[in-house]
Structure 1
Amino acid sequence: MRRTVSFLLLIFATLALSTSAQVFDLAQDRVPITELHGMVRFHTGDDPHWSDPAFDDSQWPLISPDRSWSEQGYRDYGGFAWYRFRVMPAPGHRQLALYIPGIRTSYQVFADGNLVGSFGGFPPDGVVMRLHHHLVLLPAEHGGEMEIAIRVWHWPHWAMYFGGGFTAAPRIGDADQLRYWAMLQDRDTFWELSAQDYLALLNFLYGAAGLVLFLMRRKERLYLWYGLTGFLFCGWSLMNVYTASHDVPEIASEALTNGLFATAGFFTFLLFVWTMLEAGAPFGSGWESPASRLT
């Protein structure tokens, strides 16, 4: 039984290595934007020669670029890894671009061995980044197949919590069409975060009302804590909106969002409740909200 299982595993491994990576033929697809859903070559580690279009990657494993490498046999892997695939531009094509979804932590894009895009920092001086999507312009004049190599660095301390590499399929195609498509993605993100925007506005108004009433009634400190709580949670909501749509240093943004705004807001809320109870004004009796005071 063990020999049979071992034999089958050997066959599957051989087939995986011998299978050819897909060449994304833009002329055949005849669409302005192509989603890269085929299999691409992948290898952990780091070697500058892996950006060379003449490098033989036929022995590299194949994975799908529409989900992280952590979901495809490389669980908990952190560090450097490379993707390689080829595209066939249509004859007389316009300016091409490659759309890269958000990646943790940093990455570089090479087209036929030439660096065409670099985002985030790399060891030893790398800054741990949470990257938004990016549009990378590819060489305008190109005949024949184009070799694309993408070098990714995934912070090892994140490997247990976040998948490495691509989390959604990249897209390639006409640069103008991709710019418009990326703008639509940003618009969708804006509307998805609209609840956070309204929450930020509401907290700001409550915070402003609380501080105004505290200036009018200096002895009633519960208005001070109420106002500060509103402003801090307003900052927390705005930071969540910003980090969801911009490249940000991950550790610094987490420290600011959850460390400062959320934690400080929680403690000022506790001070507000403590001051209210200490004054003998339980919820629902004896204390008027800032909104009712101003009306």
Structure 2
Amino acid sequence: MHALARPSLKQLSVLFLSFLCLSTLAQSPAPKLAEPKPGDPVSDGIDHITLGQSVFPLNGPYKFSIGDSPLDPATRQPLWAEPGFDDSHWENVDLTPPEGSFDPVYGLSDFVPGWTAKGHPGYSGYAWYRIRVKVEGLAGRKLALAGSSNVDDGFQIFANGNLLGSFGDFSTSHPIVYNSQPTLFPMPPSADSTQVLAFRLWMEPSTLNYNADAGGFHTAPLLGQAGAVSASYQVRWLEQIRSYALDIVQASLFFLLAVLAISLSIFDRSDKVYYWIAAVYAITAAGLGVQAVGSLGQSISTFTYNLLMDVLFIPLILAVWVMVWWVWFQLKRPTRLPKAVVLLTLLYMAGNLLGEEIVFGLVPHPVAVKFHLLSAAVRLAFLALLVLIVVLGVRKHGREGWVALPAVLMLGVSRFQHELDVLHIKRSWFPFGIQVNLGIVAQLLLVFALFVLLLRRMFVSLRLQREQALDIKQAAEVQQVILPESRTVYPSLLIETEYRAARQVGGDFFQIIPHPADGSDKTGSTLIVAGDVTGKGLQAGMTVALLIGAIRSTAELNSDPLIVLEALNRRLIGRESSQATCLALSIAADGSCTLANAGHLPPYLNGKPLDMEGALPLGMIDGAEFSVMHFNLADDDKLVMVSDGILEATNEKGELFGFDRVAELLRNNGAVKALADAAQLFGQEDDISLVAVTRTVGV
């Protein structure tokens, strides 16, 4: 027979509200019933009520012994469970709790220290409690037994030698146990009012590391009428839920914070601190979730719980917090700190796994003690690292480091909760019955510190964004100033231009520079340079400004197109990610043209692209050779230079604007504005620029 099923969440919610109401009513003085005086007649028209104790705590005294019972050779049942077993030589143990006592770790009421505080320090394994009870005046009424709601770690109950039930799985040589939870067992009917209850307990060796007063029962079992015991069982479950309510709230909070941190990383992928923050919040949420599930159900055994919490989550959380502050303060030294964190994390995991004897019998106990000391040393090293990082952060950033210091110190101290328990230093508080310990305080302080720092970073980022927006706006204004007018008439030439930047600042450029030969515009030449810088935005705009300055300074000395391209190539060599395609065209007064190309699209002459050799873009290699061709512009000939932003315009179906549409519009004598409008409406992806030159002799 096993413990009865735990109440559902809906039932627990109703019970919780009922419990609050009953607690409020209990604070009001109850009316006293008049006790009958001797000699009063019974048939006086008054119902005479005698109240008895429907629930009785089995405080003892118990007979207690460490070790395990031998088995009866015939029945294969434990001899120590038999009602006739002589336990007179066993120790006496009383489970009567001091008034107002509670568990210093979990806050559960009526706490009694375990066997390690009663003459058996350092002992783990099996132990037995035996008690004789006599129940009178309850003929025909069903009885029930509520097991201890705070026990290390699992137990079996025998009534007059018969197994009544268990908390944990005792079918294997090493019992599988769970975190303490309320249990309820119906008592079988018995002709004899006197019963011997025997409790066989098992405590994991690792439990010694979590409670200075570990071992056996910490609250007394309850015996009584089934309905009353069941009600007490429900109240104990409500107390258990209330104790771990903050874990559920925290797990939800940290999960949302992890999602928020990931969301922030999307907006600023260059800042890796958001990934570290998301990682530490996600691991913390997982740890708190495991803690809540392990304490409110039997889906996670104590072994699995300790393995996940102490060997995985706690070391990882501490390590990732170190990296959060390391990345936050943008520290570069000591350079080997990340590797040191990895090493300390592995040592911390090994120290907890072996030092806490989570895997029973894996190492001898004396060796486990040494690994426990190793774990403590690693925790001190982590604390030293955290303090070092914050000190370096204070030196580098000032106030940011001081904001983080209290939370970091609290986090480090919270890693020594067991040592504080051994010294009986209070590290848990229970406002309104909800557990608040150093670990919770440390986590909340860290969240608060990061919130303050993120808020400060957001304001700094907004200020920088405003400054950058102003810089971009000014750069766009400057770019418009240095570009020629959209329509310019020179002797024998009509030049039209269109420019549509994909962003505020574009990477396309063109310049028109007339060169009189002898002081008369009629016999001079005109230099037209058009190009496209790789990339978009402010960086491309800065490269454009560099190239325009180089074009004008070179053209003052020599306006030969090839010389101009070679000069521009030298300016871009050695500048990372600074390449550009470019056309340089010189048109003499008689219409003869010299065209040099550096990887740019060939221009269209009267709607047809010129047959021109390709060449490398500017900035690729030093001393690059560029293609050069000569041709003549006749009267009314129209030469159009286009950037690849027109050809690469893409519609919603993924179709490119392409060469055919450009050629068709140009053959129909389309104006450059119409061509630019068509490409932009089709789906602009890149900067769009056009330069159209029409020879107009006699105008």
TM-based fold match above 0.5: yes
For residues 129-148 of structure 1, what are the structure 2 equivalents within 5 Å? 129-148=178-197
**How has the CA–CA distance of structure 1 residues 187 and 221 changed in structure 2, closer, same or farther, with 3 Å as cutoff?**
same
Equivalent-residue separation in structure 2 for 1:192 and 1:267 (angstroms): 28
Identity %, equivalent residues: 24
**What SS is found at the alignment partner of 2:270?**
coil
- Shift, 1:254, TM fit: 2.0
**What SS is found at the alignment partner of 1:244?**
helix
> Which residue identity does 1:52 align to in structure 2?
E
Equivalent-residue separation in structure 2 for 1:230 and 1:40 (angstroms): 47
Q: Does 1:39 align with 2:85?
A: no
Deviates more, 1:69-78 or 1:231-240: 69-78
Q: Deviations over 1:91-138 (max 9, x none)?
A: 324221222223223321101111011222456333354332311221
- Shift, 1:75, TM fit: 3.0
Give the structure 2 partner of residue 51 of structure 1.
Answer: 81
- Shift, 1:249, TM fit: 2.5
**What SS is found at the alignment partner of 2:193?**
coil
> Which residue identity does 2:244 align to in structure 1?
L
**What SS is found at the alignment partner of 2:327?**
helix
Deviates more, 1:197-206 or 1:126-135: 126-135
For residues 1-295 of structure 1, what are the structure 2 equivalents within 5 Å? 30-45=52-67, 46-47=69-70, 48-66=78-96, 67=112, 68-89=114-135, 90-101=137-148, 102-122=150-170, 124-127=173-176, 129-156=178-205, 158=207, 161-247=212-298, 248-278=300-330, 282=397, 283=400, 284=453, 287-288=457-458
> Which residue identity does 1:259 align to in structure 2?
V
Equivalent-residue separation in structure 2 for 1:262 and 1:59 (angstroms): 45
**How has the CA–CA distance of structure 1 residues 153 and 269 changed in structure 2, closer, same or farther, with 3 Å as cutoff?**
closer
Aligned residues: 263
Equivalent-residue separation in structure 2 for 1:177 and 1:111 (angstroms): 20
- Shift, 1:156, TM fit: 4.6
**Structure 1 length normalisation: TM-score?**
0.77
Whether the aligned pair in 1 keeps the contact of 2:177 and 2:302 (CA below 8 Å) is yes
- Shift, 1:80, TM fit: 2.2
- Shift, 1:195, TM fit: 2.8
> Which residue identity does 1:110 align to in structure 2?
F
**How has the CA–CA distance of structure 1 residues 261 and 61 changed in structure 2, closer, same or farther, with 3 Å as cutoff?**
closer
**How has the CA–CA distance of structure 1 residues 142 and 210 changed in structure 2, closer, same or farther, with 3 Å as cutoff?**
farther
Residue ranges of structure 2 left out of the alignment (5+ in a row): 1-49, 71-77, 97-111, 332-392, 401-452, 463-699
Whether the aligned pair in 2 keeps the contact of 1:40 and 1:63 (CA below 8 Å) is yes
Equivalent-residue separation in structure 2 for 1:269 and 1:63 (angstroms): 46
**How has the CA–CA distance of structure 1 residues 81 and 260 changed in structure 2, closer, same or farther, with 3 Å as cutoff?**
closer
Q: Deviations over 1:206-231 (max 9, x none)?
A: 11111122234333222211222222
Whether the aligned pair in 2 keeps the contact of 1:42 and 1:60 (CA below 8 Å) is yes
Give the structure 2 partner of residue 25 of structure 1.
Answer: none
- Shift, 1:34, TM fit: 0.3
**How has the CA–CA distance of structure 1 residues 142 and 71 changed in structure 2, closer, same or farther, with 3 Å as cutoff?**
farther
- Shift, 1:157, TM fit: 5.7
Equivalent-residue separation in structure 1 for 2:198 and 2:175 (angstroms): 20
- Shift, 1:167, TM fit: 1.1
> Which residue identity does 1:130 align to in structure 2?
N
**Structure 2 length normalisation: TM-score?**
0.35
**What SS is found at the alignment partner of 2:312?**
helix
Whether the aligned pair in 1 keeps the contact of 2:178 and 2:294 (CA below 8 Å) is no
Equivalent-residue separation in structure 1 for 2:166 and 2:190 (angstroms): 21
RMSD: 3.0
**How has the CA–CA distance of structure 1 residues 240 and 171 changed in structure 2, closer, same or farther, with 3 Å as cutoff?**
same
**How has the CA–CA distance of structure 1 residues 36 and 128 changed in structure 2, closer, same or farther, with 3 Å as cutoff?**
closer
Greater relative contact order (CA < 8 Å, ≥ 6 in sequence)? 1
Equivalent-residue separation in structure 2 for 1:78 and 1:190 (angstroms): 28
Equivalent-residue separation in structure 1 for 2:200 and 2:62 (angstroms): 13
- Shift, 1:179, TM fit: 2.0
